[in-house]
Structure 1
Amino acid sequence: MKVKSPAKIQADWWSKTFAGLVLGLLIAIALGSLVVLLSLAHVDRSLAPQLGMWTIAWVWSPLFFLAYFIPKGWQAIAIYSLTAVLAYAAIFWLRG
C-alpha cells in the first residue's frame, strides 16, 4: 500500500507576498486598533495608542512569515481577506 505524501507547498510567491504584505498589514492595523479600543478602560489614555502602535509590528511580522506556509496563494488571500473582514467588523461593532 502506498503512503500518500503531504501536499506540497506551491511556489506562487506573488500572491503569498501580497497576502502577507498588504492583507497582513490590514489585519495588524485592525488588531492594533482593537487593542487600543479594549485597553482604553484599563490603562492610561496616553499609553493605549502606544500599545496599539507597537502591537502592529508584533502581529504583522508573524502574519507575513506565515503566509508562505499556506499551501496555495489563493488560499492565503482568502484566509487573510476573511480575517481582515472579521477584524474590521469587530472594530465597527465595538465602536458602535
Structure 2
Amino acid sequence: MNMLKQKLQPDWWSKTFAGGVLGLSFAMAMGAIILLLSKSNADSSIAPQLGMWSIPWIWLCVFFIAYFIPKGWQSIVIFSLANIFAYALLFWLRA
C-alpha cells in the first residue's frame, strides 16, 4: 500500500525528454549503423528494411531504460553521450 502513497517524481519530464527525443535520435543512429553493417551481408532489398524496423525496437528499449536512471539530468547526460558515440561511429563507418 505504500506504493499508492508515493508522489510522482518531479524529474519525470526530463526522463521523458531523454527517452523520447534523445532515445529516438540514438535509435535512428543505431538503425543506420545496422543498415551499413548488413548491406554487405544481406540482400540489397532486405538491408534497408532491417535498419528501418530495428528503430522502434531500440527506441522502446531505450525509452524504458530512461525511467530506471535515478535522476533526470543523469539520463540526459547518459543519452547525450550515447548519441555522440553512436553518431561518431556512424560517421566513422561511412567514411
TM-score, normalising length from structure 2? Answer: 0.89
Q: Partner letter of residue 89 of structure 1?
A: A
Match of 1:94 in 2: 93
Deviation readout 1:46-73 (Å, 9 max, x if unpaired): 1100000010011000110110110000
Percent identity, aligned pairs only? 61
Match of 2:68 in 1: 69
1:44 deviates by 0.6
1:35 aligns to 2:34 (yes or no): yes
Give the count of matched residue pairs: 87
Match of 2:4 in 1: none
In structure 1, list runs of 5 or more residues that go unmatched.
Answer: 1-9
Q: Partner letter of residue 94 of structure 1?
A: L
For 1:14 and 1:58, locate their aligned partners in 2 and report how far apart those are by CA, in whole Å. 22
Q: Residues 1-96 of structure 1: matches in 2 within 5 Å?
A: 11=9, 12-96=11-95
